[in-house]
Chains A and B, each alone.
Chain A
Amino acid sequence: MAISLAALASAWLAVTPTAAKDSNAKFKTVEAKHFERAEGVELTPEFSDYLYAELRTQLQKTRMFAQVIGEGEVVEDADAPASVVVTGTLTEYKKGNAVESKIIGYGTGRRSLKLHVTVARRSDQKILGNLEVHVKAAPNLNEKLLAVEAAKQIANKVKDSLEHEAS
């Protein structure tokens, strides 16, 4: 019993520094803005709101940023060099074809959403990443779930590009 408790304690001590290290974010703040829409992108107005809210949630989950701030918030001058701004445009949306998807299958007739995302440093507006995101989903999938999937992919790509930039 004493041995197992000691083993548990040592395991906890071994894990604790890792958890603390994960909480050390590389950037002070990230600001996600509402994405713009290219002409012909027919999505509901709520989609932009939901994508914005979900993107903030997903950016927080990356643990790259100490704080995810709202659109248009000020950042202390000292924090600006270690802060980034994420902007983007919904460039193309195809709503898919349910019949085609059912009959043919193999990914045909799926919904498709393309986004262009830019990650820039706040202090000097230097572009840290120009990302292309392509989300595909079943044609009967709700718009909100499409936004969740898009936000996840954007957050992952932002994380990858910033890790690459830092290294």
Chain B
Amino acid sequence: MGFQFLALRTLPARSSLRNAGIFPAFPVLAFLVFLAVGSSWASDPKPTPDNTIHIALATAVTPQKFPRPVKFFIGDVIDRAGNAQPMLITSARGGIFVDRLPADIVREALESSLKAADMLSPDAASADLILNVYLFHFGLAPSLGDFFGKIELAVVVKDPKSGKSQQISASGTSISHLAKLKRNEMKDLEADFDGALGDAIRNFLRGQALHDAVASAAASPAPA
């Protein structure tokens, strides 16, 4: 029996660096993850002239007649819809966008209608009533098998002389059917939103609530 030297333990084959073919897989995996993330970013629809529609009133809405001539001034138009992409109408089929911000579209529709009826004041100082618009919904409402365009707004009618203000709600809806081709779908959406916008502006300008607001503003005396 002699002294037994400690024998060095041999490393198993799998742990030798020479055979560690797994390591090149990590950069490949990282590259694949990068590609996947990149492709998901790339799939976010972007507005182009081919997927953008123009929404405007086809004909100006004629406001109701008031007992005495009234001049309105459009103050702030604030988008309270909370959409991250306010100009994106639908993300289907590569996305369909509107060419301007919803607030600008509503402002232009209101101003053109009031201007056509000679009821638009050029500035707040010379206006009888100031309209501050809050846009709560501008887009497609949940639906199945068709487009359900919906525009909801609240308008604060302020009398600058007395300082009193009243809030009026107005809404517009329109339904149009889905088309097979994207080109036709864009036309349908444009017509749908034109209809909903006209409906909402009409609902406000010809509403009993605005009539009552103007009447109460005329009745309330200016502060001394």
Per-residue A-contact encoding for B127-171, CB less than 8 Å = 1, 0 else: 000000000000001111110101000000000000000000001
When C-beta atoms are compared, the residue in chain B nearest to A53 turns out to be: B173
Contacts of B75 in A (CB 8 A): none
Given A49-B150, A142-B144, A144-B144: A70 and B175 interface contact (C-beta under 8 Å): no
When chains A and B are docked, how far (Å) is the Cα of A35 from the Cα of B64? 26
Cβ-defined contact, B207 with A57, below 8 A:
no
When chains A and B are docked, how far (Å) is the Cα of A69 from the Cα of B64? 13
Is the CB of B78 closer than 8 A to any CB of chain A? no
Cβ-defined contact, A50 with B143, below 8 A:
yes
Given A46-B141, A74-B64, A145-B145: A54 and B206 interface contact (C-beta under 8 Å): no
- The one of B174, B199, B206 in contact with A74, judged by C-beta atoms closer than 8 angstroms, is B206
Given A49-B141, A144-B143, A144-B145: A72 and B207 interface contact (C-beta under 8 Å): yes
Is the CB of B211 closer than 8 A to any CB of chain A? yes
When chains A and B are docked, how far (Å) is the Cα of A46 from the Cα of B148? 11
Cβ-defined contact, B174 with A53, below 8 A:
yes
Per-residue A-contact encoding for B161-201, CB less than 8 Å = 1, 0 else: 00000000001111100000000000000000000000100
When chains A and B are docked, how far (Å) is the Cα of A50 from the Cα of B145? 13
Q: How large is the interface on B (under 10, 10 to 19, 20 to 34, 35 or more residues)?
A: 20 to 34
When C-beta atoms are compared, the residue in chain A nearest to B210 turns out to be: A74
Is the CB of B203 closer than 8 A to any CB of chain A? yes
When C-beta atoms are compared, the residue in chain B nearest to A143 turns out to be: B144
Is the CB of A71 closer than 8 A to any CB of chain B? yes
Is the CB of B202 closer than 8 A to any CB of chain A? yes
- The one of A49, A57, A73, A144 in contact with B206, judged by C-beta atoms closer than 8 angstroms, is A73
Per-residue B-contact encoding for A40-76, CB less than 8 Å = 1, 0 else: 0000001001101110110000000000011111100
A51 to chain B, nearest CB (A): 11
When C-beta atoms are compared, the residue in chain A nearest to B205 turns out to be: A73
Cβ-defined contact, B203 with A54, below 8 A:
no
Is the CB of B208 closer than 8 A to any CB of chain A? yes
B20 to chain A, nearest CB (A): 57
Given A49-B150, A52-B173, A57-B175: A74 and B142 interface contact (C-beta under 8 Å): no
A72 to chain B, nearest CB (A): 5
A31 to chain B, nearest CB (A): 10
Per-residue B-contact encoding for A73-109, CB less than 8 Å = 1, 0 else: 1100000000000000000000000000000000000
Cβ-defined contact, B202 with A54, below 8 A:
no
Contacts of A57 in B (CB 8 A): 175
A61 to chain B, nearest CB (A): 12
Is the CB of B56 closer than 8 A to any CB of chain A? no
When chains A and B are docked, how far (Å) is the Cα of A142 from the Cα of B143? 10
Considering only residues 100-151 of chain B, those with a C-beta below 8 Å from chain A are 141-146, 148, 150
Contacts of A142 in B (CB 8 A): 144-145
When C-beta atoms are compared, the residue in chain B nearest to A73 turns out to be: B206
Contacts of B206 in A (CB 8 A): 69-70, 73-74
Is the CB of B89 closer than 8 A to any CB of chain A? no
Is the CB of B81 closer than 8 A to any CB of chain A? no
- The one of A49, A50, A70 in contact with B199, judged by C-beta atoms closer than 8 angstroms, is A70
B205 to chain A, nearest CB (A): 9
Where the two chains meet, the residues of A that have a C-beta atom closer than 8 Å to any C-beta of B are 46, 49-50, 52-54, 56-57, 69-74, 142, 144-145
Where the two chains meet, the residues of B that have a C-beta atom closer than 8 Å to any C-beta of A are 64, 141-146, 148, 150, 171-175, 199, 202-203, 206-209, 211
Extra contacts besides A74-B207, A144-B145 (13): CB < 8 Å? A49-B141, A49-B150, A49-B173, A53-B174, A54-B175, A69-B206, A70-B172, A70-B199, A70-B202, A73-B202, A73-B208, A74-B64, A74-B208
